[in-house]
Copies of this chain bind each other. A is one copy, B any other.
Amino acid sequence: MAKTNKNQDTEGQILDAAKDVFQKKGMDGARMQEIANEAGINKAMLHYYYRSKQLLFEAVFNNAFSLLAPQLNKILNDDSSIEDKVKNFTSNYISFISNHPYLPNFIIHEMNRNPKFFENIQRNAAFPTLDKFKNQVSTEVENGILKPIDGEQLFINIISLNIFPFVATPLIKGFLKIEEKAFKQLMEKRKIAVSEFIINSIKK
């Protein structure tokens, strides 16, 4: 049995292979030939279906971004309390990334490489907004549920604590002198440790 359901059509096989190579090596490091090899087809097919490296890359990037955006949307536009959001997001996000380990790095690197391109996505795609989250934080602060904190800073803190370890994995492995297995255990523990850490800090 094949690994994915896209193995039938060439176009899907190309996209799968392109995801793999682009996410591991980035736009600059990726080679069209390598993508073709990984897909098991002729290099000309890449151009037949996607015209150019740039367009193939954009297909992969948009695809990746539309995986990540809904994750963030949960914490921004869900109706539960801040405390519940923090707990759920932390646990869910860490699980999610374990299945897409190259994703955060890929998105962040390519965003930095070409911020202009990213600005387009921001305009077009269903790009989450902070407004609701900020209001909610203010309200809970006023109601005495949370200690005073700025919504923007809290948002940055939450995504920092959750995303950074996956972006800087080799650095963390280096400092902690651990390998893949111990790293995974550590991230598993973080599902609770991070939300405790945040809640401890903000809850009255």
Contact = CB atoms under 8 A, between A and B. Distances in A.
A12 interface: no
Contacts of A202: 197, 200
B200 A113 contact: no
A154 to B, nearest CB: 8
Interface string A85-103: 0000000000000000000
Contacts of A130: 175-177
Contact of A112 (B28, B115, B170, B189): B170
Nearest to A190: B153
Contacts of A105: 108-109, 112
Interface string A132-165: 0000000000000001011011011101110111
Contact of A160 (B122, B153, B165, B174): B165
A127 B128 CA distance: 40
Q: DSSP class of A's interface residues: helix, strand, loop or mixed? A: helix
Contacts of A115: 170
Contacts of A147: 200
Interface residues of A, number: 54
Contact of A193 (B153, B164, B165, B186): B153
A153 B172 CA distance: 11
Nearest to A164: B160
A22 to B, nearest CB: 12
Which 8 pairs from chain A and chain B are nearest by CB?
A201-B201, A160-B164, A28-B28, A28-B29, A164-B164, A200-B201, A111-B170, A115-B170
B193 A150 contact: yes
B164 A118 contact: no
